[in-house]
Amino acid sequence: MPNEMIYTRFERIWHWVLAILILPLLLTGFEIHGDYTMLGFEQAVDTHIIFAWALMGLLVFVIFWHMTTGEWKQYIPSSKNNLMAMLRYYAVDIFLGGGHPFHMTRKSKLNPLQRLAYLSLHVVITPVTWASGLLYLFYTSWGDWGLEGLSLTVVAMVHMAAAFAMLAFLIVHLYLAITTSEKPFGYVKAMISGYEKKE
């Protein structure tokens, strides 16, 4: 049985570019927040702004790709039963050596839990990060935009909250992506080659 192409070339490229952009954004973001010093405040802000624009540029293409290819449908939540099966797998069966309840195909790459997780990433965490980040960046223009009433404290808090959520998401993502395939790094390899190895 030939290996099935799961991740198309564009999908793989945007995944890894996203990875390359998100890590420095998190690192410089927490430096700007004053948690530690590495680049110095000015360099950290410069880097954060450059990477933020790059990320937003990438995401424009990614959104376009999702819309035109219909890939956005991958994130439509599945039935409650399927979700419960997935939860049961991660909470019980995975320890007992039970099999994964869902099989990954080109048409359905995401398990029910992933659908929900990525949906919240795409419709909550990312838009909140964008909106608060852009407001943060252009706070001197608020007057011109009729947003005098906005508080920088609130905008900064929202942006920070989104950053914490993104970091937590990343931790779970890395754990599951690296360790839960049949052999460690199996999913990572699939995201590089595009093919999931069949036994």
Partner 1 sequence: MFRSAHKLRSRHSLVSILFIWLFMNAIGAHGAIAPAAKKTSTSTADHTKFEALQQEFATAPDVTKACLTCHTEASKQIHKTTHWNWKITHPETGQVLGKKRVVNSFCGSITTNYARCTSCHIGYGWKDDSFDFTSEENVDCLVCHDTTDTYKKFPTAAGHPTYVDKPFPKKSKKIWKAPDLTKVAQAVGKPRRENCGVCHFYGGGGDGVKHGDLDSSMTNPPRTLDVHMGVDGLNFVCTECHSTDGHDLKGSHYTSVGKDTHGIDIPGRDDHNRASCESCHGDKPHEETVNNKINDHTNKVACHIPTYAKGGVPSKTWWDWSTAGRMDGDGKHLKMKDENGYVTYVTKKGTFEWGENLVPEYAWLSGEIRYQELEDRLDPNSVVPINTFKGDYDDPGARIWPFKIMRGKQPYDKGNNTLVISHLFGKDSEAYWKSFNWDRAIKAAMDAAGADYSGDYGFIETTMHWPLSHMVAPKEEALGCDECHSRNGRLAELTGFYMPGRDKSDLLDIIGWLAVLGTLGGVSLHGFVRVFFSRKRRNG
Handedness of CA 163, 166, 168, 170 (dihedral sign): negative
Handedness of CA 166, 188, 61, 48 (dihedral sign): positive
Helices (H) and strands (E) in the chain, counts: 8, 2
Stretch that binds partner 1, among 16-24, 66-74, 111-119, 164-172 (CB under 8 A): 164-172
Query: Should residue 81 be labelled a site residue for partner 1 when binding is judged by CB under 8 A?
Result: no
Q: Is 115 exposed, middle or buried (0-12, 13-18, 19+ CB in 10 A)?
A: buried
SS3 121: helix
- Tell which one of 156, 189, 193, 195 touches partner 1 (CB under 8 A): 156
- Tell which one of 2, 34, 70, 146 touches partner 1 (CB under 8 A): 34
Q: Which of residues 8-27 bind partner 1 (CB under 8 A)?
A: none
- Tell which one of 5, 19, 23, 40 touches partner 1 (CB under 8 A): 40
Q: Please name the helix (run of DSSP H) or strand (run of DSSP E) that holds residue 99, with its range, or none.
A: none
Q: Which of residues 45-74 bind partner 1 (CB under 8 A)?
A: 45-46, 49-50, 53
Query: Should residue 151 be labelled a site residue for partner 1 when binding is judged by CB under 8 A?
Result: yes
Stretch that binds partner 1, among 65-73, 119-127, 160-168, 191-199 (CB under 8 A): 160-168
Can you read off the two tokens belonging to residue 42? 């000015």
Query: Should residue 96 be labelled a site residue for partner 1 when binding is judged by CB under 8 A?
Result: yes
User: Using CB under 8 A as the criterion, which residues of the chain lie in contact with partner 1 when the complex forms?
Assistant: 32-34, 37, 40-42, 45-46, 49-50, 53, 90, 94-97, 140, 151-153, 156-157, 160-161, 163-165, 167-168, 171-172, 175-176, 179
